[in-house]
Amino acid sequence: MSTAVYERIRNNPKFDELVAKRSRFAWTLTAVVLGIYFIFIMVVAFNPKLLATPIWEGGTASIAWPIGAGMILLFWLLTGLYIRRANSEFDDINAEIIKGAIE
Amino acid sequence: MNRGMLKFAAVALALSWMGLAIAAPDVGQAQKQGINIHAIVMFFIFVMATLGITYWAAKRTKTASDYYSAGGGITGTQNGLAIAGDYMSAATLLGLTSLTYFQGFDGYIYCICFYVGWPFIMFIMAERLRNLGKFTFADITSYRLDQRQVRTIAAIGSLTVVVFYLIAQMVGAGQLIKLLFGLDYWLAVVIVGVLMVVYVTFGGMIATTWVQIIKACLLLGGGTAVMLLAFSQFGFNFETLATQAVANSKKGLALMGPGSLLADPITAVSLSLGLMFGTAGLPHILMRFFTVPNAKEARKSVFVATLCVGFFFTVVALMGLAAITIVGTNPQYFEGGELGGKLIGGGNMPAMHLAHAVGGNLLLGFLSAVAFATILAVVAGLALAGASAISHDIYANVIMKGKATEADEVRVSKRSSLFLGVLAVLLGIAFEKQNVAFLVGLAFGVAASCNFPVLILSMYWKGLTTRGAIWGSIAGLVSAVLIVVLSKAVWVVVLGNKEPIFPYEQPAIFSMPIAFFMAWLGSVTDKSARAAKEIEAFEDQYVRAQTGFGAAGAAAH
């Protein structure tokens, strides 16, 4: 691939804008997922009793299960959130940058 | 092409004959165990369907790109199902159900650890993988570094993971099939080996992908059916399910919270690091990102895969919980009818017994066939990844320095898959009596410590040089393997020593930082002219990673 085209893309201010926006979004979502996940692992390691708390007063089923399922669901929804923005906003800017560079 | 088709027809014929020969004498045993005929018929249908697909795929596989990456023509949804298929092994179905059956919530913690790598792959890796890769992940690590050195070490990393994982799958397959179908262990291993080689050699990535897709649908469907039937016995009420499980388990209320499995924080964190970043370093998973046409479809693949994997893990956990009451209180599933004694067929059987309890022989047969199909699909994916590392990395780029013709490269790949098939069968038979649980841990440990650090650094860190990549990979590989060998799993359980030399079994928390540190050290101290050039070349790679301009396959339009 021609370095000249890459050079033109690189010099387009929109490229920096795209990279900055996308990186910020992706890393924020990553931080949310990893943060929640490692808090969970820390609770498992240091305070396992907390997770065994019953959901209902006097019940048996513990909050651990819905918390686990909730994490799985939330993380999946976050990937959906990422896709929604990436497929519209980011891909549009991207297409524009490439179009500008090869013309 | 014609000769290839003839060969293919001959093999297919031989196989179907083998299948019949196997089915025939087995009926006697099947009656004795009262389970096998359904399983064998359904498995036979699966094998015929997948061989049909392989035949169709063989006709469509013309170029190296078709062979390695299905020509980039798989859609995001299809690929997502196939990724999920690669990831959900028989060990997931049987092992995690069993873990929940015996340990309660600990089983679900494992599921979550296995799962959380996926969102990470989505946010940080999927697009860049697609934009930079072509056939193997070494295409990415060697993009601006020394082709020969970096590809060699990447191929070693890939093959190590593939071989460890293959042995584990082969031994699992042998034991499982012996149990479910009543076949001899060696015969089961040979059947798996032969089918795997047929899929990969004749059908390449197209056949492998469709085998994965079918298997993923069967596994999701079968698991969900068993879970729903079992859950209905509790009126779909989780509180009822939990109360009865607690009442019927030896562990009692301990089922409801984290237990002893992850009591020690270092093990807990190390395991989760290994599973999470190991997922992002498995060569057969990474390879799947090159089968879609662009970054958009790559994102969609991860979205679909994440949904399937997360859903399936939850199904598996519910199956385990339901099995405590449904299987655990039924004497017919225990040796000698003794409740709470040994489960018939061993500790991995709660899922199968549960299928029998809620759906009779038909559902048991179906789930058994699905488990067999699952193993086949996973080993096919592994074999293709291993064969690609040998042909595309070692042969085409290291030995032939990029001058091999496409036809030669594909031919080498097909021979490599045959070689890996033979190796897997021999090792599978050799390891029959060994406890191979550590092998999966080892595969993930090496993937997380040898493949992942260099892969992520090559995409994100400008300063990575060839020397850094080599140092990092070797340090990760050696430390991960050493830690596992010196830990209890190998040093005590396999080698029969009294005390482990290293107290922890999960290598990732130690070996990953070692790999990252050595990659950094090797790079910053590298003042050669080559290193300067490599650092400079990051700019172009960076633009391509971000925009996908110049990416393989995308250049066509």
The Cα B151–Cα B399 span in angstroms is 11
Instruction: Tell me, rounded to whole angstroms, the distance of Cα B80 from its chain centroid.
Output: 14
Torsion of Cα atoms, B104 then B109 then B110 then B116, to 10°: 150
- Segment B282-337, tens digit of pLDDT: 999 999 999 999 888 999 999 999 999 999 999 999 999 999 999 999 999 998 88
Which string of b and e fits B423-460 if b means at least 16 CB within 10 Å? Answer: bbbebbbebeeeebbbbbbbbbbbbbbbbbbbbbbbbe
Q: What is the mean pLDDT of residues A76-85?
A: 94
Looking at residue A90, the DSSP 8-state letter turns out to be I
With beta carbons less than 8 A apart as the criterion, state whether B221 and B68 touch. Answer: no
Q: Which residues of chain B make contact with A94, given a CB cutoff of 8 A?
A: 546-548
- Segment B98-118, tens digit of pLDDT: 989 998 998 898 888 889 889
CB atoms within 10 A of CB A43: 16
pLDDT the model gives residue B19: 38
- Segment B534-545, tens digit of pLDDT: 998 898 888 888
pLDDT the model gives residue B1: 41
Range of the domain at B226: 2-135+165-430
Answer whether residue A45 shows pLDDT above 90. Answer: no
Q: What are phi and psi of A54, to 5 degrees?
A: -65, 150
Number of Cβ pairs closer than 8 Å across A and B? 164
**What residues form DSSP beta bridges with A62?**
A54
Q: What is the mean pLDDT of residues A92-97?
A: 88
Single-letter amino acid, residue B12? A
Answer whether residue B94 shows pLDDT above 90. Answer: no
- Segment B366-413, tens digit of pLDDT: 898 888 888 888 899 999 999 999 999 999 888 988 888 888 989 999
Structural domain count of chain B:
1
Q: Is residue B287 part of a domain?
A: yes
Burial class from Cβ neighbours inside 10 Å (0-12, 13-18, 19+) for residue B539 reads: middle
B547–chain A Cβ distance below 8 A for any pair = yes
pLDDT the model gives residue B554: 42
List the CATH number of the domain containing B271.
1.20.1730.10
% of chain B exceeding 90 in pLDDT: 47
Answer whether residue B488 shows pLDDT above 50. Answer: yes
Q: Name which of A30, A44, A50, A55 to mutate to probe chain B: the one with the most chain B Cβ atoms within 10 A of its Cβ.
A: A44
With beta carbons less than 8 A apart as the criterion, state whether B464 and B145 touch. Answer: yes
With beta carbons less than 8 A apart as the criterion, state whether B323 and B161 touch. Answer: no
CA distance A61 to chain B (A): 5
Answer whether residue B208 shows pLDDT above 50. Answer: yes
DSSP letters for A13-77: HHHHHHHHHHHHHHHHHHHHHHHHHHHHHHHHHH-HHHHT-BSSTT-SSBTHHHHHHHHHHHHHH
pLDDT the model gives residue B20: 36
**What residues form DSSP beta bridges with B334?**
B343
Answer whether residue B195 shows pLDDT above 60. Answer: yes
Q: Is residue B179 part of a domain?
A: yes
Secondary structure, 3-state, B313-370? HHHHHHHHHHHHHHCCCCHHHEHHHCCCCCECCCCCCHHHHHHHHHHHHHHHHHHHHH
Distances (CA, A) of B521 to A54, B470, B471, B472, B484: 50, 11, 8, 9, 25
- Segment B54-64, tens digit of pLDDT: 999 998 888 88
pLDDT band at B531 (very low <50, low <70, confident <90, very high): very high
- Best CA proximity match to B137, nearest among B169, A30, B128: B128
Q: Is residue B51 part of a domain?
A: yes
pLDDT the model gives residue B552: 66
% of chain B exceeding 70 in pLDDT: 92
Q: Which residues 197-256 of B have a C-beta within 8 angstroms of A?
A: 238-239, 241-243, 246, 253-254, 256
pLDDT the model gives residue B7: 52
Q: Which residues of chain A make contact with B307, given a CB cutoff of 8 A?
A: 76
